[in-house]
Amino acid sequence: MKAVEDAKQAVQGAASAVMAKAVQMAPDSWMPGGKPDPLIRAQHGHVGRPISRVDGPVKVQGAAPYAAEFPLDGMLYAALVFSTIAKGKITALDTDAAEAATGVKLVMTYRNAPRMKPMPLFMTSEKACGGNDLPVMQDAQVYWNGEPVALVLADTQEQADHAASLIHVAFEEEHAITALAEAKAKGVEPGQFMGQPLKFENGAAEQALADAAHKVDQRYTTPRHSHNAIELHAVAVAWEGDRLRVHDATQMVAHSAWSLGHVFGIAEDQVHVTSPFVGGGFGGKGLWQHQVLAAAAAKLAGRPVRLMLSREGVYRIVGGRTITEQRVALGADAEGRFDALIHTGTTAMSHHNVLPEPFILPARSAYATKTMKLDVEVAYLDMVANTFMRAPGEAVGTFALESAIDELAHDMGVDPIELRLRNEPDKDPTTGAPFSSREVEKAFRDGAERFGWANRQAPGTRREGEWLIGTGVATATYPYYRMPGGAARITLTPNGAAIDIAAHDMGMGTATAQTQVAADRLGLDMAQVTFNYGDSTLPGVVMAGGSQQTAAIGASVMAAHRALVTELLKLAGNDSPLAGLDADEVVGVNGGLAKIDDASAHESYASILARAQRNELVVEAEPPSPLETTHWSMHSHGAMFCEVRVNAVTGELRVSRFLGSFDCGRILNPKTAASQFRGGIIMGLGLALMEETQYDERSGRIMNPSLAEYHVPVHMDVPEIEVMWTDIPDPHAPMGARGVGEIGITGVAAAVANAVFNATGKRVRDLPITLDKLL
């Protein structure tokens, strides 16, 4: 079977390589984005203005309803019991006391749970989004330490929690692989990410390294991380006959509806998932076992159910970012040009998920080099399925790569910015595709000037009292993604328009920015545009992930808008000032359509609709496949500058200044985009300074499942963070914009570590940089 699978993958890989080459060779004009979005030229509309969030008032008043805040008639509350072993069998389940407890309506275990299929594993098909593909409370087998083994339903949360504490479970343990060393000793496998091997070789990199005039060759390690959105994962479900209604906290409503339908053997349109407000996601708010268990329990009890995970529960059943061990080796000639770039290493994952932390992604496109070797190997552990967390790959991969570049620069006595710029590629180093837009040098030069980079001193030479002060820099990088599956509907009325798309706003500012965009595209005021999202019955399958929503929604609305204009021109007919024009010759302006170069040839939407005796016009369309991401190499970049103060006596480390200088295409809303950049940087400070999901290698159990013991940056840890951007539109992206949600976390840990080296002369290659490593 293995050979057949391998052969199949090889054929698919070869076919996709041929296709990729064909797409790269095709003329620009055949590509989506081949002709720049006309909105890029518009400079006097809503786009580019720092408009406050459209959902601001309800959020500051506590009036925005999150998933756990939809009371349903007759609703029961759920509580979970988790396994305390990593692998084995349940040998006894004592649920009598729980069943007899006040208010308890149901105790569900594998013995009475309804028969369900496993969740379809994320990315194994278009709409599959299960965090793992294990049986959900279907048998006595235990697969990870923290797996749900019993669920209680009661009239109140207090009753459910108490009853759950009365359940006793006995286990027979089997040997589990919970230590990385043992997992590696059992053999590693090549990592795969989105169907492609995490492997690339160009030339004899090891030999080039050996022969290089200057070289570094170091090992870097990063721990597990948890998303820790402040909103706990929560779901409220109700069965209406064979239809399932789900109030969820999710960044993938349409995927969830389809996947839950698959689990329960019903069609996706029998499942209605809504998620109007999500209290933070960062990759963690997907489909995990709690939604399935809540729906199963609701079915058994015949009552609606709400299940809000405890904070410990989130750690037990929702995976986070996994551990990495990385080697980065750089060989350079006398001028600092790279002869060899080697980035390899190992990550751990469970047997039941799809994401090996792809830490080599930044190295694929960041630097020119004569030879390259990239490789991610996977060791398998019996642990909670790890998953996507903000910039999977780039967040921790840039720590290793950008630390190594700083080490090489120091060894060579070259400024680390100059070393990076000497290795700027003129085309994509791995695919050979031309860059759609790449302003790395501008980001560095502008950032360096504002930060005062020129004032930097030699390592360990700047001191104020007990405090050693240093500065560091690193490259941030994240790709432009646009996933297939987009679609949008526009409903135009005489007074305005509604945009409908099954996308998400978890605080990124999606609804605000997309209202600005739609208003400009249609020539309406923002108050005339309603942006509807977070509902699986709306068109499109648009995940809030990969920083792709700006492009995915943008392209979908562009497609729908073109269909709308085409239809309007038909309705306008020969009596209109627009008569004879086609969709390419008009723009939305002043509540109607006008000829691009002659504003006097204008007719309002109200007039067109009235003459056609229509109250509204509804169109829906899908954008073309995202071939632009293959035809061009599309990446955002940033230059991250950090100043740290390290206490020479205690080792205490404070980040005193941080500046991010970004090149992310056009910025749609400077206010919300700045918050996305800062938010990413602050999560990056956590990655650098304090964050670690502590995992007991003996038992496979997470030891700090609490916000008291997993430290995230607090106000006192966060300095004023400066952000700036080139604002140069990407001619091949909708609106000229690339997403801004994830790039902020990339490069931060390296910028901090490099600043720590500059302050102290100590190089920390193991995250987080806690004070014990500086003493």
Active site residues: 742
Q: Residue 87 or residue 285: which is nearer to other proteins going by CB? A: 285
Q: How far apart are CA 773 and CA 688, in angstroms?
A: 12
Name residues contacting other proteins, limited to 219-238 (CB under 8 A).
227-232
> Which of 57, 195, 302, 484 is in the footprint of other proteins by CB under 8 A?
57
Nearest to 587 by CA among 641, 520, 685: 520
Give me the residue label for tokens 């007899």.
100
Site mask for other proteins (CB under 8 A), range 268-307, x = bound: ---------xxxxxx-------------------------
Binding of residue 15 to other proteins (CB under 8 A): no
Part of the chain binding other proteins (CB under 8 A), chosen from 173-181, 262-270, 462-470, 718-726 = 718-726
Binding of residue 11 to other proteins (CB under 8 A): no
> Which of 386, 672, 693, 754 is in the footprint of other proteins by CB under 8 A?
672
Binding of residue 55 to other proteins (CB under 8 A): yes
Binding of residue 334 to other proteins (CB under 8 A): no
Q: How far apart are CA 654 and CA 752, in angstroms?
A: 10
Nearest to 590 by CA among 689, 519, 681: 519
Nearest to 513 by CA among 502, 529, 534, 497: 529
Binding of residue 73 to other proteins (CB under 8 A): no
> Which of 168, 311, 327, 614 is in the footprint of other proteins by CB under 8 A?
311
Q: How far apart are CA 205 and CA 3, in angstroms?
A: 29
Q: Residue 588 or residue 739: which is nearer to other proteins going by CB? A: 739
Nearest to 136 by CA among 111, 112, 119: 119
Q: Residue 394 or residue 567: which is nearer to other proteins going by CB? A: 394
What is residue 124's three-state secondary structure? coil
Distance in Å, CB of 743 to other proteins, minimum: 13
> Which of 346, 403, 675, 754 is in the footprint of other proteins by CB under 8 A?
675
Sign of CA dihedral 123, 127, 131, 133: negative
> Which of 16, 52, 124, 590 is in the footprint of other proteins by CB under 8 A?
52
Part of the chain binding other proteins (CB under 8 A), chosen from 142-150, 328-336, 638-646, 668-676 = 668-676
* Count of residues in contact with other proteins, rule CB under 8 A: 63
Distance in Å, CB of 723 to other proteins, minimum: 10
Binding of residue 721 to other proteins (CB under 8 A): yes
φ, ψ at 593 (rounded to 5°): -110, 145
Q: Residue 559 or residue 690: which is nearer to other proteins going by CB? A: 690
Name residues contacting other proteins, limited to 504-563 (CB under 8 A).
506-509
Q: Residue 683 or residue 755: which is nearer to other proteins going by CB? A: 683
Radius of gyration of the chain (CA): 27
Q: Angle between the 670-689 and 394-412 helix axes, to the nearest 10 degrees?
A: 70
> Which of 65, 197, 203, 651 is in the footprint of other proteins by CB under 8 A?
65
Binding of residue 683 to other proteins (CB under 8 A): yes
Cβ partners under 8 Å of residue 762, min gap 6: 756, 773, 774
Cα dist from 463 to 83, 416, 460, 645, 758, whole Å: 52, 22, 8, 9, 11
Binding of residue 720 to other proteins (CB under 8 A): yes
What is the spatial order of strands in the sheet that 104-108 belongs to? 104-108, 148-154, 76-82, 305-308, 234-240, 243-248, 271-274
Q: Residue 156 or residue 457: which is nearer to other proteins going by CB? A: 156
Distance in Å, CB of 674 to other proteins, minimum: 7
Are 564 and 556 a contacting pair, CB within 8 Å? no
Q: What one-character DSSP code corresponds to residue 766?
A: B
φ, ψ at 390 (rounded to 5°): -10, 115
Binding of residue 676 to other proteins (CB under 8 A): yes
Which residues here bind other proteins, judged by CB under 8 A?
A: 52-53, 55-66, 68-69, 71, 156-158, 162, 227-232, 277-282, 308, 310-311, 506-509, 671-672, 674-676, 678-683, 706-708, 712-718, 720-721
